[in-house]
Structure 1
Amino acid sequence: MKLLVTGGAGYVGSHTVRALLAAGHDVTILDNLSTGHRWALQGCELIPVDLRDTHNLSRRLKKRGFEGVLHFAAKSLVGESKNHPAIYYQNNVGGTTNLVRAMQAADIPRLVFSSTAAIFGNPVSDLIDEDHPKAPINVYGQTKLVVEQMLQAVCESSEFSATCLRYFNAAGANNDAKLGEWHEPETHLIPNALRAAAGTGNPLTLFGDDYPTNDGTCVRDYIHVDDLASAHVAAIEKMNSSSGFNAFNLGNGNGYSVKEVITACEKAVGAEIPYTIGSRREGDPATLVASSAKARSELGWTPEHDSIDEIARSAWNWECHRRDNLT
């Protein structure tokens, strides 16, 4: 298919572009490069447009023959969303609304949307499936849920199809393509632990050690970014034979505590990673673990990198490459 990937110069977007190219698809990237990177474009054409620029967005999508869009472009920092809610609604909700309208005007019928486990809020079950109550506890999660609701309404009222993929904790890197995670500021545990080990980041702080978990630290479901990418390929290809609205939770089904993740990072680095204990962060549930049974059944998708040790090693390999080649 001829596909457009918004946010394709970002972390998950660039890994998905790689997977789409490997599967034989024709890929164009749309990215304003506010957080994406030119080195992640992988030779694809870049359309340098902001989703808030409705005129240029519509103009650049028309008569291009795109058969589908994979949409990653969004603001995604939980803390920032609390401090700047209007900006998050403008970017995430407004930007996606602009994209859908431009797609409809250009007769592009399929959208795969990058959603998040943050739409569920505090879990009420050990494993979170697609029917789990949706009660986001931060603005970021609110904006993603509003977009899901909007997409479902559009699908029900027109000849338009959308699939929402709800990530848990994306992690790791693709070593062969020299792609990986590079955010500024970086808020994710694994890259921050590795940067602390390498001396290129701030000292590591654990936010709370008094949660009702085995070791007192938060438990999360970490999914390798290449597994996320393969799910996106499966989702857009499935839309050739199915229509309407759908949603899938994406995780590996295993929960790892913050301390267990740090131990895996120490194995990857070969050295102890010192840390201090801070207070809990507002909006951090004790445990978030996915049930991906629906994705496994309906998309034929199976995570191939479910070991936290493997995820940490791939992230460390990327960190070493990044320091040597991209800084």
Structure 2
Amino acid sequence: MKLFITGGTGFVGSHVINQAHTAGHTLVVQRRPSSQPRLALDRQPQWVDRALDGDFTAELQGCEAVVHLASHTPNPPYAPLDECLYWNVFATVRLLQQAAALGIRDVLVAGTCFEYGAAAEGLEYVHPATDMRPSLTYPISKAAATTACLGLARHLGLRLQVLRIFQVFGEGEAATRFWPSLKAAALDGRDFAMSAGVQVRDFIPVEEVARQFLAALDFTAVAPGRPQVRNVGTGQAQTLLAFAKHWWAHWQASGQLVPGQVGLRPGELSRLVADVNSVHTA
């Protein structure tokens, strides 16, 4: 299959490229000018060096599906809301309209579990039909993008899937995030200060996220104009402290984990675990 992929140099995007090439797909990949992949690529795709709000009509020609992974400021500190809305909503809709005008009907869009926001509080497992009640700029813009994409899919008869990614981690992740920070401290022999670690999360390796995106390229169960939302996670609950202890032992760290030294982020949920067995037709 010939795929048009956005966000190809990102954390998830780099892994998707490697797995897609291994699976035999032909790739046309958008990236911001001067950006580089987060990890070594086994093979280079056809790169398109252009901002996401550009005209991709020529590069979309002959593609069979769009895999939209690009997102604006997915890691704190988030950009202002107007900026997030421009890139995560307007630029996304513009791209899908260009693809639809060329007859491309199969689309995967990467969402985030943080779109659920406060609606996930108190839920043992978050169903993909759960309301979206985010309160921070990036999650607000991603929830708005989901709403826009679902409506566009109904209007244009697209076979669209929104795949909401839960707590992804692994090689190529931004150095400021938890898992890379933990790994750096472990390998350097330093102690690692963290929160009490009571937050319960659905931790999923980035390689598994990429595998699930490629599996979703089978659109046979998706009807035109009947878009679907599903969660990308493991369905397994684990505290942040248990996660940290597992990897600390894995890396045979000589330093000490020091829980309780860092406070929780404002609005941080106590539990966020995916219902991975349900599909919501929106």
| TM-score bracket for this pair, using the shorter chain length | 0.7 to 0.9
Q: Which deviations, in whole Å up to 9, do the C-alpha atoms of 1:4-62 show, x marking residues without a partner?
A: 1111222211212222222222122111156542843732111111112x34x33433x
Note the 1:35-114 alignment, pairs <5 A. Answer: 36-37=36-37, 39-40=40-41, 42-52=43-53, 54-55=54-55, 57-61=56-60, 64-81=61-78, 84-114=80-110
Opposite residue 215 of structure 2, the aligned amino acid is A
Unaligned segments of structure 2, at least 5 residues: none
CA contact (8 A) 1:190 1:261 kept: no
| 1:181 maps onto 2:177 in alignment | no
CA contact (8 A) 1:262 1:273 kept: no
Q: Structure 1 length normalisation: TM-score?
A: 0.76
Residue 158 of structure 1 and its aligned partner are, at CA, apart by: 1.4
Note the 1:1-327 alignment, pairs <5 A. Answer: 1-32=1-32, 36-37=36-37, 39-40=40-41, 42-52=43-53, 54-55=54-55, 57-61=56-60, 64-81=61-78, 84-122=80-118, 123=120, 124-172=122-170, 180-183=171-174, 186-199=175-188, 204-207=192-195, 209=196, 217-239=198-220, 242-244=223-225, 245-271=227-253, 272-275=255-258, 277-294=261-278
Alpha-carbon distance change, 89 to 35 in structure 1, aligned in 2, over 3 angstroms: farther
What is the distance in 2 between the residues matched to 1:34 and 1:285? 36
Alpha-carbon distance change, 86 to 36 in structure 1, aligned in 2, over 3 angstroms: farther
**Root mean square deviation, CA, Å:** 2.5
Unaligned segments of structure 1, at least 5 residues: 173-179, 210-215, 299-327
Residue 2 of structure 1 and its aligned partner are, at CA, apart by: 0.9
Q: Which deviations, in whole Å up to 9, do the C-alpha atoms of 1:264-298 show, x marking residues without a partner?
A: 12112102344461222112111111110126xx9
Larger fraction in helix: 1
SS at match of 1:40: coil
SS at match of 1:279: coil
CA contact (8 A) 1:72 1:113 kept: yes
SS at match of 1:115: strand
Opposite residue 233 of structure 1, the aligned amino acid is L
Opposite residue 206 of structure 1, the aligned amino acid is M
Opposite residue 259 of structure 1, the aligned amino acid is L
CA contact (8 A) 1:128 1:288 kept: yes
Opposite residue 167 of structure 1, the aligned amino acid is I
What is the distance in 2 between the residues matched to 1:33 and 1:281? 33
SS at match of 1:293: coil
